[in-house]
Chains A and B, each alone.
Chain A
């Protein structure tokens, strides 16, 4: 069974640019969540997708957007990058909506640096 994978591993962008991060869910999982983790902090919830629809969003501006595809893989898009967007971006998948009784399986993350 393949776990959650994310690409790329590392990425360097400049302020104002746009970035797309990708995530492949674990087989059989229909829910994907994205988190931002700044250095020394716990992960912060960005949003969750369930069966291709956004279902829940954290305190992030609209320039953070996402997609979930029919095969349940997912993308996180960030427009107009700011220096504070530098962080580890984590993707997690589960068999149902997160937060309840379902465990989430996390990928290794994408380290984004904004210069």
Chain B
């Protein structure tokens, strides 16, 4: 399975943008890049996914490098409710999502 590398933790201030990086140098051409987040005592929640082009939705933006070996999840204005563990996952033709340890995002008021 293609693996991803994320920082263990990051810190941000409320109402500031947050850029969460992810490296996936062994990504294959058919792997989608998925981002999920998990708030304390809850199941993971879908954030965004993409294949080659940058993607935007109501929660976040996903910027994908041209060589697809890295990506960045962008939260445009962090709120206290965004404090969670963020997982960057590659999903491919083997039809499963392989979660790593993710990045623990702390948002300061």
Contacts and interface: CB of A to CB of B under 8 A. Distances in A.
Most central of A4, A55, A56, A103 by chain B CB within 10 Å? A103
A45 B98 contact: yes
Interface residues on B, range: 20 to 34
Contacts, number: 65
A56 B43 contact: no
Contacts of A35: 99
Interface of B is mostly: loop
Nearest to B101: A42
Contacts of A99: 32, 91-97
A58 interface: yes
B97 A101 contact: no
Nearest to A94: B46
B94 A56 contact: yes
Interface residues of A, number: 26
B30 to A, nearest CB: 8
Contact of A90 (B43, B91, B102): B43
Contacts of A109: 43
A48 B96 contact: yes
Interface of A: 4, 33, 35, 41-45, 48, 55-56, 58, 90, 92, 97-101, 103-109
Lowest 3 A-B CB distances belong to which pairs? Answer: A42-B99, A106-B43, A99-B91
10 contacts: A35-B99, A42-B102, A43-B44, A44-B99, A45-B98, A92-B44, A98-B97, A99-B93, A104-B44, A107-B43
